[in-house]
Amino acid sequence: MVQVQDVLAAIDSVGTALREVADIEAATSAAQTKLDFVNREIEQKHAERDAVAKQITDLTEKARKLAGEVQAMESQFAEVYERRNKAQTELRVAQEQLQHLRDHVAGIPGAAR
């Protein structure tokens, strides 16, 4: 009978070991499922980061182009202001000459006024 009890104890021990293996396999499967979920989340975050990085790159390029356009406009404004100042100077000189001629004509006796 001792042998039967040894066999029964061994069978019980194997059953316990098999249950432990099954529990560990279940825990491993659950851990793998969680890991897969986290890996998908990481991939999603990488994709979001890449999209934001592309937007930043696009906006930086757009800002660079706009800065160039602003610089060109400032140059154009400088040219226009220079032409305006020249025209104002020419107008002032012409007005001074006109006033000088009026004063000269006013000094001539019998000139029509």
Which DSSP state fits 15? Answer: H
Q: What integer pLDDT is reported at residue 2 of this predicted model?
A: 65
- Per-residue pLDDT reduced to its tens digit, 55-69: 999 999 999 999 999
- State both tokens at 8: 């029964």
- Structure pTM? 0.51
**Is residue 4 very low, low, confident or very high in pLDDT (cuts 50, 70, 90)?**
confident
Q: What integer pLDDT is reported at residue 6 of this predicted model?
A: 79
Q: What is the Cα–Cα distance from 17 to 80, expressed in whole angstroms?
A: 92
Q: What is the Cα–Cα distance from 45 to 32, expressed in whole angstroms?
A: 20
Q: What is the Cα–Cα distance from 13 to 15, expressed in whole angstroms?
A: 5
**Is residue 1 very low, low, confident or very high in pLDDT (cuts 50, 70, 90)?**
low
- Per-residue pLDDT reduced to its tens digit, 61-105: 999 999 999 999 999 999 999 999 999 999 999 999 999 999 888
